[in-house]
Amino acid sequence: MKADELKDFLDFKAEQYEKPEFLQSDPIQLPHRFTQKEDIEIVAFLVSTIAWGNRKSIIQSGEKLISIMENDPFNFVKNYAVGDVFNSDFVHRTFNSQDLNCFFLSLQRLYKGKGLEAAFEKVKPTDTIKDRIHNFRNAFFQDVDSTRTFKHVSDPMKNSAAKRLNMFLRWLVRSNLMGVDFGLWKSINPSELYLPLDVHTSNNARKLGILNRKQDDWKALEELMSILRKMDPNDPVKYDFALFGLGAFEKF
């Protein structure tokens, strides 16, 4: 497939899947239940954090998280006390109530300051999304001594593709015009975003000849994004819908 034909194909598939119907089977449906900025941020962050495994199980675990937060996420986080979730028996894969306790305490600390969006602010003018994710991770775990919880927030500086954080940023940053993402955060430009690299997106990118690297890591993400940014410099991550949809819905 020629470059212009491939772009036309991926543009078509991105438009095909980025529709409100996408919410019916995707975890992003959970933050869509809320209207307050902070509620959306908290639910989006927690749900994206546990976004591994099949989407049905992620949604079920996300439902439990919302229930634990009494359907009032921001107020719950503001008033959270150490250990409040220890009797919840929450677990999703390796993420358990101990990790959730650390997450609630860290979120509470961030919201006592400038908030979650501010934690992704640039430290230096030259900071990229890679830097901003790394800086956020350091800020998030600033007062956390539970080392088992560190693995639940990836660090691209260690060559992780940081799939779940890139997914979270896509949700919060990209425009809401198509009814899927939120467009809430203006401090990050959609042109800066990185695609949440998962088994569907990476395998389909390789099949289409726009990714050669075999490992699903940050180096692979940089390789893929270099192509996608040429196709659409302003909104390269829209192709997440195309590459994901081809695998999840079409078994491409």
pLDDT per residue over 12-43, tens digit each? 999 999 999 999 999 999 999 999 999 999 99
Cβ burial, residue 213 (10 Å; 0-12/13-18/19+)? middle
User: pLDDT-based confidence at 53, cuts 50/70/90?
Assistant: confident
C-alpha to C-alpha distance for 229 and 244, rounded to whole angstroms:
17
Asked if residue 146 has pLDDT above 80, the reply is no
Amino acid identity at 181? D
The pLDDT, as a whole number, for residue 249 is 86
**Cβ atoms of 110 and 116 closer than 8 Å:** yes
**Cβ atoms of 18 and 241 closer than 8 Å:** yes
Q: Could you tell me which of 244, 232, 191, 193 has the C-alpha nearest to residue 6? A: 232
Q: What is the mean pLDDT of residues 220-224?
A: 98
User: pLDDT-based confidence at 199, cuts 50/70/90?
Assistant: confident
pLDDT per residue over 156-193, tens digit each? 999 999 999 999 999 999 999 999 999 999 999 999 99
pLDDT per residue over 77-90, tens digit each? 999 998 888 878 89
